[in-house]
Structure 1
Amino acid sequence: MLYSAQLLVMDLLSVAILAIAVFALVDCLRRPAEAFTSERKLTKPIWTGILAVVAALAFIAVPPLRMNLGFLNLIAAVAAIVYLVDVRPRLAPYRRRGPRKGSGGW
C-alpha cells in the first residue's frame, strides 16, 4: 500500500514537471530573440534547445513509460524552473509585435 502511494506521488510529480517544462518551452518560443540578447541571457535558440530536451526528458519520465530517470527528471525540473524564475521575468517587458486590437484607424 505504501509503495503504491509512493508511485502515485512520483507520477504526480512527473506530470507536474512535464507541465512546467512545456509551459517554459512555449513561453520561450513566444518571446522575441532580441529580448534574450538585450537582457544578456543565453540566446533564444540555446534556451529553446535546453527546454526542448528538458520537455522530452520529462515526457519520458511520465507514466506509462515511467523510465527510471529520477535524476534526469530532477535536472529537467531545475532547468525549467531556472528559465521561469530567472529569464522569464527579465523578458517580461518584451513582447512580440503584432496587430494591435482597437487601434483601428477606421
Structure 2
Amino acid sequence: MELALVTPAIWWLLLCTKVFALVDCVRRKPYDFEMAGTLPKNVWLIILPLAIFVDIIWRNPIGILPLAGTVAALVYLAQTRGSGY
C-alpha cells in the first residue's frame, strides 16, 4: 500500500523537475549557454520537452526512458544554473 503512494509522488517530483528545467531553459539567453560551456539552447529545447513527453506517456519514474530524461534535466540544471550564468 505504501509503494502505491510513493511511486506517484516520485513521478510528480521528477516531472516538476523537468518542467522547471524547461522553463529555466526558455528564459535563458543563448549567450548563457555559451558561457556555461554546455549544449546550445536549441538542443536543450529539444531534449527537455522530449523528456517531459516521455515522462507523461510512461508515467513510471523507474523506466529507462523516464530516467534518461531525469538525468538530462539534472545535467541541464547542474551545467547552467550551477555555473552561475
Which TM-score band applies after superposition, normalised by the shorter structure? 0.7 to 0.9
Unaligned runs of 5+ in 2: none
Residue 76 of structure 2 is matched in structure 1 by 83
Aligned CA distance change for structure 1 residues 76 and 24 (closer, same or farther; 3 Å): same
Q: TM-score, normalised by structure 1?
A: 0.69
Runs (4 or more) in structure 1 with deviation over 4 Å come to none
1:57 aligns with 2:50: no
TM-score normalised per structure 2: 0.84
C-alpha distance in 2 between matches for 1:71 and 1:59: 14
1:47 paired to 2:44 = yes
Q: Which runs of 5+ in 1 are unaligned?
A: 94-106
Q: Is the 8 A contact 2:18 2:51 kept in 1?
A: yes
The superposition leaves residues 50-71 of structure 1 with CA deviations (integer Å, 9 ceiling, x where unpaired) of 1111111222234xxx6x9722
Q: 1:17 aligns with which of 2, 14, 17?
A: 14
Q: What's the CA shift for 1:39?
A: 2.7
Larger radius of gyration: 1
Q: Distance in 2 between matches of 1:81 and 1:57?
A: 16
Supply the distance in 2 between the matched residues of 1:11 and 1:83 (Cα, whole angstroms): 24
